[in-house]
Amino acid sequence: MEQVVIENPIINSPFEEPKRHFLFSEEGITNEIVEERRISSYFVPIPKPKKKSKKQQLLFETEWTEDRVKENEFINQVRARVAK
């Protein structure tokens, strides 16, 4: 997977409803900007299997890809009612 570097991640005004977002593809975030508000969602982390060792560390390494996105249904319902 190619790592994407976004030079200026701020694309919306802090004083208005967001109107643009960066597109997520099956491989992760892209530099492509979509001209609409993103649906509310979050990533479901899937941790790597634990290895038994003398030194136990909590590692939180995961891939931020489209297949791990879960829609936040409640927030999207609130946004739909407010927009009416």
Q: Does residue 53 sit within a domain? A: yes
Q: Does residue 50 sit within a domain? A: yes
pLDDT, one tens digit per residue, over 13-72 is 999 999 999 998 877 788 999 999 999 998 877 776 666 655 555 555 556 666 778 899
Spell 2-14 as b/e; 16+ CB within 10 A means b: eeeeeeeeeeeee
3-class SS of residue 11: coil
Residues 6 or more apart whose Cβ sits within 8 Å of residue 60: 45, 47
Q: Does residue 7 sit within a domain? A: no
Q: Does residue 9 sit within a domain? A: no
Residues 6 or more apart whose Cβ sits within 8 Å of residue 38: 18, 21
- Could you give the number of structural domains in the chain? 1
Q: Which residue has the tokens 């990533």?
A: 43
Q: Does residue 33 sit within a domain? A: yes
Q: Is the pTM of the predicted complex or chain greater than 0.75?
A: no
Question: And the tokens for 32?
Answer: 């492509």
Q: Which structural domain, as residue segments, surrounds residue 64?
A: 21-83
| C-alpha distances out from residue 37 to 1, 23, 47, 63, 78, Å | 26, 11, 30, 23, 14
Q: Does residue 66 sit within a domain? A: yes
